[in-house]
Structure 1
Amino acid sequence: MAKYRQLQTYFWDDSFILDLDTQEKCFYLYLMTNYKSTQCGIYELPKRIIELHTGCSRENVDKLLSRFQKWGKIKYCEDTKEIIILNWLKYNQPNNTNAIKCVNKELKSVKNREFLLDFYNQCQKYDLDMESIFKDMEITAVKTSPKSEAPSKPPASNKVISNKQELINNKQKTISNKQLEKAIKCFENKIHFPKQEEINRLNSWCSTMGCDIVIMAIEKAVQYNAKNMNYIEKIMNNWIKDGIRTAENGFKKNMSGWNLTNERKYDFKELERKLLGW
């Protein structure tokens, strides 16, 4: 089965990328897209493989890896021959069920425990579904000594972060992710598989107006055969102008009696009439 890696078009306009020379740009692009790369951004990549793929000498490979480690973009483990791309989740977040299952499977094969902790911290930073991503796994918080790559002994107060604890501590976060997943699923079924930029925009609208209204806007766009994110956002911007912001309070103003929790069967002409004040 073929594998694909997404690359944002504005990758080339990134301030960090603009400052790299040609060889450094190609090398960084290689690290993100080579056939051994994974959906979690942690994978085994022996230096001999890098030599064969890129045509670089071992000395040059060592220099390039050292540079990107110094710049804080990657970490490379000589013992396990594994690499982690540290800002991978910035543009490759697992926001659907299949992607989360894939990442969970990949993480279970990672040998370097420090890399797992780095990935865990990234997931927290981006408010991802921790319980699903780390299902059947336990991550121990270990701090690394600044003078050595070997992890120091964890303090006695450190606790193993279990799935149950994470579920309790991030209950609201999990609910939010499930709401976003509903909107993404609707977008995927009605329009197309969303790109990362579209997922980010859906996430923003779900946070602002709620999942139910976002889904209604998607369905309305489909009804008028305007299957694109810009039209969906135009619909929601119009609703905001009419004071409709959330399913709990906005619809009480213009659409009292509408049920947003049951199956979505709407009279869109009547809805539009009410929204436009006709």
Structure 2
Amino acid sequence: MAKFRQVHTTFWQDPRVLEEMTPEDKYFYLYLLTNPNTTQIGVYQITKKQMAFDLGYSTESITSLLDRFINAHKVVRYNDSTREIAILNWGKYNLNKAGKPVIDCVKKELKEVKDKTLLWEVMNGIPNDSVVAEFSRHVYDTSTTRGQEEEKEEEEEKEEEQQQQENVYDFYQNNFGVLNPFITEKLSMWVVDVGIELVIESMKRALAQQKKFNYAEGILKRWSNENIKTLDDVKAADNQFGRKGSVRNGTTEAAEQFAKENGIPF
């Protein structure tokens, strides 16, 4: 279906266009109002590279023009991350009338906007109440923003967890020897079972007794059996044995038993 964009004749009588814009500015402005990426709502996605290609400019020239239109003329907004542009006075000439086909199109396009903050200033210039109502639903809907924030937090947590797990591997290599797939799998299993802090703590205790990694595994086995999950739990267990800060407690016996059961010299 063919798309048409209207440019009102009053465009040429606008004092801002007449007095403040250079011929190049007027050319660029008309392009922003009529290029194939434009939408019914006045917010659309377009890259600087595409603008440069369409107009025969360099990307540096486009960047300069956008800066002028954002900060000097104050008629557009551009999000460099989402590559979306908003024509702030779009609604004045393009959304003054709104039948069902227009409203349906507006609803569809509003859902596709990634940066919802761009809709705010466009909405302020829309004279039609029914269209403003549709914009409002999206401008004040923070669910998308919350979802993006939650997704970012999850990614950060995963990165932190991965970094901590790498710290376990580094600790082993720095103190016990070169990692191999068998040991890596063991460490990963213990991390899942009791957590990163306890795996490192068990290795520290093994080092304090000048023992090998199998000693640390004995400690981890005991902690797992007793559902010890945190360093506070470990301290409480140490205190229960009446030997604060001592490594030689029930963990030693568990380590010896683990080594014996698995035929490992202790």
Q: TM-score by structure 1 length?
A: 0.47
The structure with the largest helix share of the pair is 2
Q: TM-score by structure 2 length?
A: 0.49
